[in-house]
Structure 1
Amino acid sequence: KEQTASQALKMGLLDAIVDTENLHQSALNLLHNAIDTTINWQPRRSQKQQPLALNHTEALMSFTTAKAMIAKLAGPHYPAPMMAVKTIENAAQLSRAEALQIESTNFVKLAKSSEAQALIGLFLGDQKLKAAAKKAAKKSSLIEHSMVLGAGIMGGGIAYQSAVKGIRVTMKDIAPASLDLGMTEAAKLLNKRLERGRIDGLKMAQILGRINPTLSYPQQAPQIIVEAVVENPKIKMAVLQEVEAATPATTVLTSNTSTIPIDLLAQGLTRPEQFCGMHFFNPVHKMPLVEIIRGKATSEQTIQQVVSYAKQMGKTPVVVNDCPGFFVNRVLFPYFAAFSQLVNDGIDFQRIDKIMERQFGWPMGPAYLLDVVGIDTAHHAQAVMAEGYPDRMAKAHKDAIDVLFENKRFGQKNGSGFYNYQLDKKG
């Protein structure tokens, strides 16, 4: 738990608090006082080198509670937190030198573990991705005004994320009810931050004030537009052609499609070089990854500008070429296909979820993940993947996703999928 300097001083974690401008002189004063014995520092050092002053009962209660809490939070796949507690427990009754030896031994064990190697690889990969995005963003101007076409949950989430990062955003839709839904989504997310004390009422009003819901195109053209209408190629193509005609030649167009080829959507555009995919994941405010999809005609300048916008939104952009499934769905849907085969073989989907979460460490199992993604979205994406990769992804039979889709059980979005859902008090 984080503590302020004043709180740490009261707890005895600090000996003193020094202003920045007095730091050098205070350090000299401390040394002089130690030399002339004004400060009796030897007992303090001796105390720190001795075992902790805990009796057997206190130690048992403290470390049993700590280990239970860590086991619940970290689970079996992250050994470092539990090792840290056990290291403190084993070293508590030893001298400083003996305690440091235990700490060193346990650190080496963790450093050589497969989990450490995996986490290091993950970190290095993430840093490489961020470095590439940073390099691309340097060549582009900052976005001050963006636009989202299509409100609702996804459009509202994109608008919210832009507004939170200080970007003015116009949210356009053809239906007032959809605009209301988009603004409600943004307000709901801000209310959660307000309840947790992360923002105050003034800050919330300022963020909401950056979102302009409208049924018409704004007089001041945005620098970038994110199309987020229904996942239907004919509708998306019509909307993109309409907005291209209504905006100046400098405006960059993007589509939030999850499955439709970018080259297909670019057909009919007069400026295909200023168009690419920008695929967000739901919920937008929580998911860091954004796929930037490059079409055959997409210019490098367009990619750089969209990467820059994604970074402004606090996202991690990954640039991929246009192909069925882009990057994420090409990785994800073989996993879903294996899940569907297990269900067809008679395995309970709840059992599969529990095994994937508890034994393999996934944040959610495949059935629950499909409900979050949306059964309708998964059904459509499944067909796209089967068509794009017939040798690997073709379906030989009807599966659970097909059955749920036919019965209009679309997941969390309509309250029923593999599981049933209802709103809690927080919505």
Structure 2
Amino acid sequence: MAFENIKTIGVVGAGTMGQGIAQICAQAGYQTILFDINAPVLEKARQTTESNLQKAVERGKLSETGKQEAIARLLFTGSMNDVHADIIIEAVVERLEVKHSIFQELAMINSSETILASNTSSIPITRIAAKIQNPARVVGMHFFNPAHIMKLVEVISGVATAPEVAETVYKLAEKLGKVAVHAADAPGFIVNRVARHFYVEGLKILEEKVADLETIDKLVQSSGFKMGPFQLMDLIGVDTNFSVTSSMFEAFHYDPKFRPNRIQQQKVEAGHHGRKTGKGFYDYTA
């Protein structure tokens, strides 16, 4: 699939990442299909998109006409059969079997030329592509949260990924207003491998009672970061962050420096997943 031939983009998963990805695709002029099996999640994505676009209008970054045109390009659907596109980006839970199932279904109802891109932040693209028909069209397209604001996109080539597919996705990321970088299919790719210890060490400092989480966050912010590790985990999703850490721990053959923390595991087990649930390391219910 040549970059010039991309007219329609599908996004599977209407959570925080999927919603943001779909929004920027529609704003960039593409017909965009956002699918989720969960109707309330899909409706929340619709509301969030309209709210984000309205805020852009109020800040003078988008015209009212541009807002209405972007909304008109978006199709929100609960039927996988509606997801016919030139490129499809999955943004679902970090579980290999789920991604396999989704891509296998999409491969059956789409052209053999349709690019299948994963927003995974830790699962090797080679593993995802292994069970997919025509694995040369499977590629990583890793956005960062919030997707409609953060500039970086990692384009990850698995062993089977065709160079022209990676190049097409690279050009698409640039068209979406992002800064694209090519990355090899190594655990955590570039950013998550570097950033993992931002979270792991923050949790270790908390576990060892060196400082409380508010102090750790304030210290990191005073060093120039926009958010501390606990604030950022709450924004990303404590469950998502824990899943990525667990995946990388396994991928690095259980190297102790990537070991998930019990404090974070307890938060996940308690359902305290961050901003999206109202509670994480901080309480957002007040």
Q: Tell me if both proteins adopt one fold, taking TM over 0.5 as the criterion.
A: yes
Distance 1:306 1:394, change over 3 A: closer
Distance 1:176 1:340, change over 3 A: closer
Alignment of 1:5-24 (within 5 A): none
Partner residue, 1:133: none
Distance 1:215 1:345, change over 3 A: closer
Asked if residue 263 in structure 1 is aligned to residue 122 in structure 2, the reply is: no
Asked if residue 417 in structure 1 is aligned to residue 259 in structure 2, the reply is: no
Q: Which residue type is aligned with residue 357 of structure 1?
A: Q
Match of 2:16 among 124, 147, 153: 153
Mapped contact 2:10–2:87 kept (Cα < 8 A): yes
Measure, in 2, the Cα distance between the counterparts of 1:152 and 1:418: 20
Deviation of the 1:160 alpha carbon: 0.5
Deviation of the 1:328 alpha carbon: 1.1
Partner residue, 1:173: 36
Partner residue, 2:268: 405
Mapped contact 2:89–2:118 kept (Cα < 8 A): yes
Partner residue, 1:311: 174
Mapped contact 2:203–2:261 kept (Cα < 8 A): no
Match of 2:206 among 328, 336, 343: 343
Q: What secondary structure does 2:193 align onto?
A: helix
Q: Which structure features the higher share of helix residues?
A: 1
Alignment of 1:97-136 (within 5 A): none
Distance 1:323 1:176, change over 3 A: same
Partner residue, 1:33: none
Deviation of the 1:371 alpha carbon: 1.1
Q: What secondary structure does 1:324 align onto?
A: coil
Q: What secondary structure does 1:170 align onto?
A: strand
Deviation of the 1:214 alpha carbon: 2.2
Match of 2:183 among 293, 317, 320: 320
Mapped contact 2:233–2:274 kept (Cα < 8 A): yes
Distance 1:394 1:146, change over 3 A: closer
Deviation of the 1:264 alpha carbon: 1.6
Mapped contact 1:153–1:185 kept (Cα < 8 A): no
Alignment of 1:212-231 (within 5 A): 212-216=75-79, 221-231=84-94
Distance 1:175 1:366, change over 3 A: closer
Post-superposition CA distance 1:169-227 (Å, at most 9, x none) = 11122233332122112111111122334434333211100111223356794211101
Match of 1:240 among 87, 100, 103: 103
Partner residue, 2:196: 333
Measure, in 2, the Cα distance between the counterparts of 1:372 and 1:152: 13
Q: Which structure features the higher share of strand residues?
A: 2
Distance 1:192 1:304, change over 3 A: same
Of 398-407 and 222-231, the range deviating more from structure 2:
398-407
Match of 1:372 among 235, 241, 258: 235
Mapped contact 1:153–1:181 kept (Cα < 8 A): no
Partner residue, 2:164: 301
Asked if residue 272 in structure 1 is aligned to residue 139 in structure 2, the reply is: no
Asked if residue 253 in structure 1 is aligned to residue 116 in structure 2, the reply is: yes
Measure, in 2, the Cα distance between the counterparts of 1:339 and 1:393: 13
Q: So what's the TM-score if we normalise by structure 1?
A: 0.63
Distance 1:195 1:331, change over 3 A: same
Distance 1:217 1:380, change over 3 A: closer
Bigger-Rg structure (1/2): 1
Deviation of the 1:270 alpha carbon: 1.4
Partner residue, 1:163: 26
What's the Cα RMSD here?
2.0
Post-superposition CA distance 1:51-100 (Å, at most 9, x none) = xxxxxxxxxxxxxxxxxxxxxxxxxxxxxxxxxxxxxxxxxxxxxxxxxx
Measure, in 1, the Cα distance between the counterparts of 2:102 and 2:202: 36
Asked if residue 211 in structure 1 is aligned to residue 74 in structure 2, the reply is: yes
Q: What secondary structure does 1:382 align onto?
A: helix
Measure, in 2, the Cα distance between the counterparts of 1:219 and 1:404: 36
Aligned residues: percent identity?
34
Q: Which residue type is aligned with residue 217 of structure 2?
A: D
Distance 1:398 1:149, change over 3 A: closer
Q: So what's the TM-score if we normalise by structure 2?
A: 0.92
Mapped contact 2:274–2:280 kept (Cα < 8 A): yes
Alignment of 1:31-50 (within 5 A): none
Q: Which residue type is aligned with residue 258 of structure 1?
A: S
Partner residue, 1:384: 247
